[in-house]
């Protein structure tokens, strides 16, 4: 299994726009608090990726040279050296194959080595048991557990 993270700014605009359809698909949106991303919201997000010191950084996940999902950092705070992280794989048949673990491991390394971050946050719906198990396996610690979500953080190399 060959997993590659391709920077969003390096992929064709058509694929950048197609990822909105993936994110809004029934199989993906059930894992998010915001269930529908409008075209306007998506275009604004795409523009934010082009900023100097962007608060949003995104990658298309390629498996064997085929785009299968998106991973991203958001709310990047360079002075506090922290960010939030997220992922989605749009094809349900590809979930549970270890792709998320490979991607998250690469993202933790990217956060430390490239972004110089010392803390990552993420939140997950309590119903997403597979993701919770992965986050705990990779060393994330629960910092909030309320309502329908759990918030985790990771201090790399802790």
- Per-residue pLDDT tens digits for 57-112: 999 999 999 999 999 999 999 999 999 999 999 988 898 899 999 999 999 999 99
Helix axes 129-137, 99-113, angle to 10 degrees: 50
What does the DSSP 8-state code read for residue 123?
E
Over residues 33-55, the mean pLDDT reads 94
The predicted structure's pLDDT at residue 121: 96
Are the beta carbons of 59 and 6 closer than 8 angstroms? yes
Q: Is 26 helix (H, G, I), strand (E, B) or coil?
A: helix
pLDDT at 43 over 70: yes
Residue of 3, 45, 7 lying closest to 23 (CA atoms) = 45
When the pLDDT of each residue in the chain is averaged and rounded to a whole number, the result is 94
Which tens digit of pLDDT belongs to each residue from 125-144? 998 999 999 999 999 999 99
Q: Quote the pTM value.
A: 0.93
């Amino acid at each position: 299994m060959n997993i590659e993270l391709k920077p969003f700014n390096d992929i064709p605009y058509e694929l950048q726009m197609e990822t909105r359809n993936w994110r809004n698909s029934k199989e993906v949106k059930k894992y998010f608090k915001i269930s529908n991303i409008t075209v306007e919201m998506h275009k604004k997000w795409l523009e934010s990726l082009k900023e100097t010191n962007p608060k949003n950084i995104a990658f298309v996940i390629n498996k064997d040279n085929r785009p299968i999902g998106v991973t991203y950092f958001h709310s990047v705070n360079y002075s506090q050296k922290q960010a939030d992280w997220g992922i989605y794989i749009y094809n349900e048949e590809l979930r549970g194959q270890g792709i998320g673990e490979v991607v998250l491991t690469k993202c933790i390394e990217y956060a430390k080595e490239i972004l110089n971050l010392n803390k990552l946050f993420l939140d997950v719906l309590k119903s997403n048991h597979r993701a919770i198990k992965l986050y705990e396996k990779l060393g994330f610690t629960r910092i909030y557990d309320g309502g329908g979500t759990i918030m985790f953080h990771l201090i790399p190399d802790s």
